[in-house]
Amino acid sequence: MKLSREEVLHIARLCRVALTDEEIDRYAGQLSKLLEHFQVLQQVDTEGVPPTAQSVSLLNVMRDDVVMPSLPREDVLANAPRREDDYFRVRAVLE
Amino acid sequence: MTADLDRLTIHEAHRLLREKTASSVELTQAYLERIHTLEPKLKAFVTVTDEAALQQARRADESIAQGKITPLTGVPLAIKDVICTKGVRTTCSSRMLENFVPPYDATVMEKLNALGAVMLGKTNMDEFAMGSSTENSAFFVTRNPWDVARVPGGSSGGSAVAVAAAECAGSLGSDTGGSIRQPAGFCSVVGLKPTYGRVSRYGLVAFASSLDQIGPITHDVTDCAILLNAISGYDPRDSTSVPEPVPDYTRALKPDIKGMKLGVPKEYYVEGMQPAVAEVMKTALKRLEELGAILEEVSLPHTPYALAVYYIIAPSEASANLARYDGVKYGYSYPGESMWESMEKTRGTGFGAEVKRRIMLGTYALSAGYYDAWYLKAQKVRTIIRREFDEVFSRYDALVTPTSPTVPFRIGEKTADPLAMYLSDVCTLPVNIAGLPGISVPAGFAEGLPVGMQIIGKPFSEETLLRIAFAYEQATDWHRNKPALKGI
């Protein structure tokens, strides 16, 4: 199990994390070592075993669609890095 | 006021307040003074909320004067900085949320506030609760009060230290793979991770949603039951919250475990375990036997796979949960030239090394072509691990293991080797994988450093765990030992 620099860059692009050259090398080594250790899972016979996503037996938790108070707009926008009037301001999405 | 903070439990503070021997303002001031004396060395707190705490204390005193008192009215507590507190910044010990002020309270905070508790401040942690030593905090390292050259454990290191050093009467932590129990063990205090679904996660900043739970860290088992009473219960705002009735957990505190069947899983006592920790455990198990419990060796053969299962599932869920930090709605934002540059640099510079490592690991495990081999495989082995626990709990009331295979390690000792760090949670991870409750209680000392004993139960068996823990605590004096805080 050996991740190349290219594979690390590919993963970093998928999760939108900018990495420095030094980080790419370090993560390539560390992630490779971890994945190599995690290979032990391949020894486990899971034929016919269903996956577990969560450990409570609740399914399809529903609630009535009732109007509830929302958070105050000013309180929410107070945390915005950039705002304009009552909007979050972002860089151009379409170029 | 003459209360000795060193020995002040929640139930003792409550007694002082009820008998009007002390006021909440007096207790709160005493804790704040102690915090400001100890913090330069211990660094358990990210934020100390002096003014707000005194205001809450004054309100508590008014309430007590009117004869209205709950077990937590006026009792000063500390809260892990991963739990949203309205109007008080909640950082997750990350640059990403350094200036984030939540516009709402977590459900557990609403409950504590309704009971009249006082919040002294927010405690340090591994960034986004990812770590086992509190060294991953973006701000500073928290020190173990038993030896300041050593880690307090993590990720709830600040909450455990705040209790161990008597900077508060009790605290809340969160536990995704051991983050309450392991630091509780390392600091010689009590820490309980409730059954998944027992305590609402609403307002708990998400790390791995199928594993996270909030729980108490306290001076003794009685306090643990009191805090668990306060925070448990169904919450319609958390769809994984379970509508099980909440018993009065303090009623479980009977020092009688005669005839209880306790399993000792042999897979938890093997390689990598420090001989001194094994010695302490041997004595602890003997004490449980002397108390009338029936101990038998049991086997959970898939335990060795829990580490891999956890470190695939938790990072996978984290990679999805942490996708929200894009520098747009809140949190740190890098002012790039384009949208993608802004987002990638926000995440590249706003997250620390361990958080990025886990996001990358999870992204890889979920990515096209690898999903079946890693994520799905881990979820299937998760099923097997759960079934093994189910089977054992059909024959035993609880399982007893060490909380951690080692005593607290030195600061810096494991930071260069992620796998070595991950292995310090090897005894606590399986409990989260299966959604079970687990408690760590002080079990003694090895080379002068704390050792914790973990008791694991089937879902919603917190009463059984508290009863065993209480019986053990009453028969030992470990929880009365307090760090000397020499030179602090």
State the nearest Cα–Cα gap between B433 and chain A, in angstroms: 8
- Give yes or no for residue B291 having a pLDDT over 80: yes
Q: Is the pLDDT of residue B2 over 80?
A: no
CA distance B364 to chain A (A): 6
Residues of chain B contacting A41 with CB distance shorter than 8 Å: 305, 308-309, 312, 374, 377-378, 381
On chain A, the residues whose CB falls within 8 A of the CB of B367 are: 11, 14
pLDDT at A94 (0 to 100): 82
In which element (H, E) is residue A29 found?
helix A21-38
Exposed (0-12), middle (13-18) or buried (19+): which is B28, by Cβ within 10 Å?
Answer: buried
B217 bridge partner residues: B171, B191
Provide, for chain B, the percentages of residues in helix, strand and coil under a 3-state DSSP scheme, each rounded to the nearest 5. 45, 15, 40
Q: For a pLDDT cut of 90, what percent of chain B falls above it?
A: 94
Q: Which of B123-127, B268-272, B336-340 has the lowest mean pLDDT?
A: B268-272
List CB contacts of B203: < 8 A, sequence separation 6 or more: B83, B84, B102, B104, B105, B106, B107, B108, B109
Residue B277 CB neighbour total at 10 angstroms: 24
Pairing of strands A83-84, B213-218: unpaired
Helix (H) / strand (E) element for B372: namely none
Domains and CATH numbers, chain A: 5-42 (1.10.20)
Pick the CATH number of B1-488 from 2.30.30.140, 3.90.1300.10, 3.30.470.20, 3.40.50.1260: 3.90.1300.10
> Do B174 and B213 meet the contact criterion of CB atoms below 8 Å apart?
yes
Q: What is the ipTM of this complex?
A: 0.96
Average pLDDT in chain B: 96
pLDDT digits (tens, 9 = 90+) for B207-239: 999 999 999 999 999 999 999 999 999 999 999
- Report, as an integer, the average pLDDT of B406-431: 94
Tens digits of residue pLDDT in B438-463? 999 999 999 899 999 999 999 999 99
Q: Is the pLDDT of residue B484 over 70?
A: yes
Is pLDDT at B183 greater than 80 in this prediction? Answer: yes
Candidate from B196, B236, B361 with C-beta closest to A34:
B361
Tokens linked to B23: 């006021």
* Chain A residue nearest residue B350, CA to CA: A17
Query: In the prediction, which pLDDT does B487 show?
Result: 67
List, for residues A35-92, the tens digit of each pLDDT value: 999 999 999 999 999 999 988 877 788 888 999 999 999 999 999 999 999 999 998 8
Residue A10 has pLDDT above 90, yes or no: yes
Task: Say if residue A93's pLDDT is above 90.
Answer: no
The number of beta carbons lying within 10 Å of the beta carbon of residue B295 is 16
Q: What pLDDT does residue B3 have? A: 61
The distance of B74 to chain A (nearest Cα, Å) reads 28
Told to judge if B80 belongs to the known catalytic residues of this protein, a careful annotator would answer yes
Confidence of residue B388 (pLDDT cuts 50, 70, 90): very high
Q: Worst-scoring range by mean pLDDT, B200-214, B342-356, B413-427?
A: B413-427
- B332 in A contact zone (CB under 8 Å): yes
pLDDT over 70 for what percent of chain B? Answer: 99
The predicted pLDDT at position B172 comes to 98
